[in-house]
Chains A and B, each alone.
Chain A
Amino acid sequence: MKKVSVFLSVLILFMTLLIPLEEAYAFSNLDVSIEAGFDLKCKSGGINPVKVIVESKEKEVKGNVKINVDGRIYTHHVDLGPNAKKELLFSIPIFKENEDIIVEFENNGEVLESKTISPDILGEDTILAGILSDTPENIYYLEELKNYVPSNKNVEVINLDKDMKYSLKEIDNFNFIVVDNFNTENLLPESQKTIKSWISKGNSVLIGANKYDYKTLTGIFEGIKDTKQIGDGYIIPVKGDLENSDIEFIKNTIEKYITPTALSKVLQGNDLKGKIQDSKNLYPAVEHLLKSSYNSVFCLIAFLVIYFIFMGVAIYLGKNKWLFTSVIMSLFVLFYVFALWGGFQKSKVVGADIKIYNNGITSYSLSTIYPYKQSQVSVHVKDALYIDDVNSDEYSINPIEQKINYTSVTEDSPLSFYSEGFKDCKIQNMKVKLNEDVLSGEITNILTDKMYNCFLVVGDTVVNIGNLDGKEKIDINEKLNHNLRNLGDYNYLENIYKTTQMKEYQKQMFEYYFYHVKDYSYEAKLIGFSKEDSNIEINEKKQKSKKLSCNVFDVQIENDKEKTYMPAGMIKPIVDYGNNEKSEEKNEYILEEGKEITVYYSMPKNTKVENLKIYAKADSSDIYLEAFKNNRWVLLTSSELNEESLKSYISKGIFILRIKGNGRIIIPQIEIMAGDENA
């Protein structure tokens, strides 16, 4: 017996000695390689794809891939068998022009492998042209577009990955895509859907409908003969040869179909960082959800009154002396249970978002979690294109699973994160008639929830509608009073607030929409606020969350006659402040001596503008406007332009104004009367 025990103990000792040897052996067991960007080029100010390929050798590998970009951490868990390879596609924002990407593979805090790369990062205002082709070398001539864009911008031609496994926000970095000599139907259905969503957001795709049309005109491009409009963007089939073609021809085609969204992307770029930072302005809306309403307090007072009645009854029925005591004890238990059910000892999730219903539902939201007795919180955000934390220090984002993980959670500080989402669905169309400045028609609340403080913005008029129940229809018949004409930012917003009597937190939400959501469609907007209960997944468990939404719907304006009348303000100005500057204000600008700003107005396609009126207001007399006419700048002398002169003013569907001088000016608004182009 003693010998056996000695033998066993020696054996166990021997085996324990083996274990560290195994760990040491696992060190050189895996290979990590990184491919960052589109064709190894990243764009600053946008979301970039980072592909991490993890390869295991003879032993299995378990751990987390951790990417560190400028202090922001992105992780994903990996479980690999022996001799296996896994490709992880991360979506990571890059904000600076010289950043390192540090990739680590760790297991329980121990770093098994680490690699750092310094990717080639293009400037924020680089114009990106994407190529989908089996022979991309023949299309690189697109670089010559450099000669035709504003001088401070660069054009970069990128050969896109043949499988196009990019997310919507990554493709959004591109200004246009050329598809030639490429089998569209070989793309995955999700990739094709992403391209379609990207087009409908106002971007254009040029397709070679030439000798390669048996390849290119398949899949989502099947059956395209003429330029087709999808949502706000265009699919443009090019019958000529796209390979080694004439750059002038390409430039003219692009300019013919440039949408205001695309124009704004070229001139104004993306504002991702501003959107995240200003999402803090949505806090009042979020916190408003936590405030108790008078109704709930009155309900509690009613319960108290019942409590007193019970006590009184118990005193009155003096014979049963124990009744009083039991009343007190049972009501204590009842209130406690009631409090527990109401979330007394639970974590709470509240959020505020701006939802744009236009070719799908795009949402920008701020969510806050008030944790309870949780030291780690992992939130899964459905349909999210992008997640970022707003105020915490200890967090990591898993862009592949759309999760954000918080470690070291304390009850004192709530966790807030910003997320952008997109859901592809069909939005019911609303139409109203506009006849000689009188708006008439039917407005529907297409949501099932009630919408509060609804209002309609038609160019430079705001029409108050009030509260709309779910699915309620209301008839409107209003004369446009142009109460928002020529107003600076503060007065514009104040007028809207006064007309609609918005509450404080609603004002904050609308202000976020006004400054950060770029919406260039030629439609009127119906805006309303709603409250909804939704579900969010925290730590793998579903949890109820309350959300306040600012919903923005498109309302199409129909004109009675064949003429299209667009009141001032419907064609939104796209301002180029020069020298890559950005302005905080939207409707106004303070000009300084020697500086100038250029304002572009993109006319609706397939129309011929017959009459154009300009409304401008300046605080000083030292400001003058110039218009681009016949390829030169001329001083604008009248505020109304007629058909004959308009031909020379509007080139390629864009009307351009230049403002010089000294002082404060409200960005001019234009009102047009147009007829059908082909009439």
Chain B
Amino acid sequence: MLKLMDINKRNKGIIMSYVMILAIILMSYLLMVALRMDGYNLEVYQKAYIYFTTFSLVLFSVMIPLWEMKDETYIKIIFDSIIFTISASPLILIIFMVGKINGANILLPLCIQILWGTVILSIKKMMNSTEIHKTWKSFLLVIFTFVVMILSSIFLFFYSQYAQLVITTIYDKDIPMIFFLNPVVSLAGMLHIQMGGANQMGSIPIVIYFVFWVCVAIISFSLSNKFAKTPRGVAYEEK
């Protein structure tokens, strides 16, 4: 059990800088913008919650490809992702405390981030067990993250203009299902609903997101196991 909780020093540094950056941003926002407003504005804090959690997902996706991994089990990957994600949750709770927002389940959006982290780490592990050059590995990971998160958002925008969609909320029924594989879209939609937005698709987007990425994670993990028992090992043995 304790072995599970071990984290590499460099990884600790990554987590700490992640939390520090988010803390600085949140505190400056609160002190300079939110608290200076006249009267009590619940919407300001609700919006802050949505934007902050989405931003933390983006920052998380930028930082987690730098995670150092060395022969980790599946459970360890999930655990690392969980720790990385909940390290920033005190900040989310601070938004709730300052804004006096009434209870929302903060764990559910964090699960989206945890799953996303698991996916990236499994893909990284899969690539670690192949013979690709280190630069290629980081490049592929960055491209993967970029395509799924940013490119699909851009294409979502292009599509909405092309099909002349009238989008009223994030979980809008006019948006094709494939765009909900983008963690930013799914997460922002879920936060929007938690803070009172409309929900036209029920929980279908979340289900699609979870099912797809769990499959990807499992496939990449098992592929990484398979690659580990590749001809490389066999060749060594033969020698």
Contacts and interface: CB of A to CB of B under 8 A. Distances in A.
Interface string B5-17: 1111100110110
A288 B9 contact: no
Interface residues of B, number: 36
B30 interface: yes
Contact of B30 (A297, A303, A411): A297
A411 B46 CA distance: 14
A137 interface: no
A325 B83 contact: yes
Contacts of B143: none
Contacts of B117: none
B98 A339 contact: no
Interface string B80-112: 000100110111011011111011000000000
Contact of A328 (B31, B83, B91, B102): B83
Contact of A344 (B31, B86, B96): B96
Given A322-B5, A328-B15, A335 B83 contact: no
Interface stretch (B33-41, B52-60, B155-163): B33-41
Given A304-B27, A348-B102, A412-B196, A287 B5 contact: no
B20 interface: yes
B50 interface: no
Contacts of A315: 9, 12-13, 16
A374 to B, nearest CB: 11
B90 A307 contact: yes
A351 to B, nearest CB: 14
A297 B103 CA distance: 19
Contact of B97 (A328, A344, A372, A373): A344
Given A321-B5, A412-B196, A332 B89 contact: yes
B83 to A, nearest CB: 6
Interface in A373-411: 373, 411
Interface size range of chain A in the complex: 35 or more
A481 to B, nearest CB: 32
B228 interface: no
B40 A287 contact: yes
A244 interface: no
B97 A322 contact: no
A292 B98 contact: yes
A67 B39 CA distance: 39
B132 interface: no
Nearest to B31: A297
Contacts of B89: 332, 335-336
Contact of A301 (B12, B27, B38, B196): B27
A255 B87 CA distance: 77
Contact of A335 (B2, B23, B39, B90): B90
Nearest to B45: A292
The A contact surface, by secondary structure, is helix
A291 interface: yes
B90 A345 contact: no
B158 to A, nearest CB: 34
B114 interface: no
Given A288-B39, A304-B23, A311-B19, A372 B98 contact: no
Interface string A219-236: 000000000000000000
Interface in A340-386: 342-348, 370, 372-373
A27 interface: no
A321 B93 contact: no
B9 A318 contact: yes
A322 B35 CA distance: 38
Contacts of B15: 311, 324, 328
A372 B102 contact: yes
Contact of B94 (A300, A318, A329): A300
A317 to B, nearest CB: 11
B86 A328 contact: yes
Contacts of B39: 284, 287-288, 291, 504-505
Given A297-B31, A321-B7, A322-B6, A345 B16 contact: no
A332 B12 contact: no
A338 to B, nearest CB: 8
A326 B100 contact: no
Contacts of B99: 292
B90 A294 contact: no
Interface in A251-296: 284, 287-288, 290-292, 294, 296
B86 A332 contact: yes
Contact of B12 (A294, A296, A300, A314): A314
Contacts of B93: 335-336, 338-339, 344
Contacts of A466: none
A324 B23 CA distance: 18
A312 interface: yes
Contact of B103 (A284, A291, A345, A504): A345
B221 to A, nearest CB: 22
B7 A324 contact: yes
B35 A292 contact: yes
Contacts of A347: 102
B16 A312 contact: yes
A343 B16 CA distance: 29
Contacts of A345: 102-103
A328 to B, nearest CB: 5
Q: Which of A312, A338, A344 has the most CB of B within 10 A?
A: A344
B140 to A, nearest CB: 29
A411 B100 CA distance: 13
Nearest to B84: A328
Given A314-B12, A322-B5, A304 B103 contact: no
A78 interface: no
Interface string A475-506: 00000000000000000000000000000110
Contact of B40 (A288, A301, A308, A342): A288
A304 B6 CA distance: 23
A616 interface: no
A208 B46 CA distance: 67
User: Which one of B9, B31, B103 has the highest number of Cβ atoms from chain A below 10 Å of its Cβ?
Assistant: B103
Given A315-B13, A328-B83, A504 B38 contact: yes
A325 B11 CA distance: 11
B97 A342 contact: yes
B102 A290 contact: no
25 contacts: A288-B40, A292-B35, A292-B98, A292-B100, A294-B35, A296-B97, A300-B94, A303-B90, A304-B27, A308-B16, A308-B19, A311-B15, A315-B13, A321-B7, A325-B5, A325-B6, A325-B7, A328-B87, A332-B87, A335-B94, A336-B89, A336-B93, A338-B97, A339-B93, A345-B102
Given A303-B90, A344-B97, 14 more contacts: A300-B98, A304-B23, A304-B91, A321-B5, A321-B7, A325-B5, A325-B83, A328-B87, A335-B89, A335-B93, A335-B94, A344-B102, A348-B100, A505-B39
Top-10 shortest CB links A-B? A345-B103, A322-B5, A287-B40, A321-B6, A325-B5, A335-B90, A291-B40, A292-B98, A290-B40, A335-B93
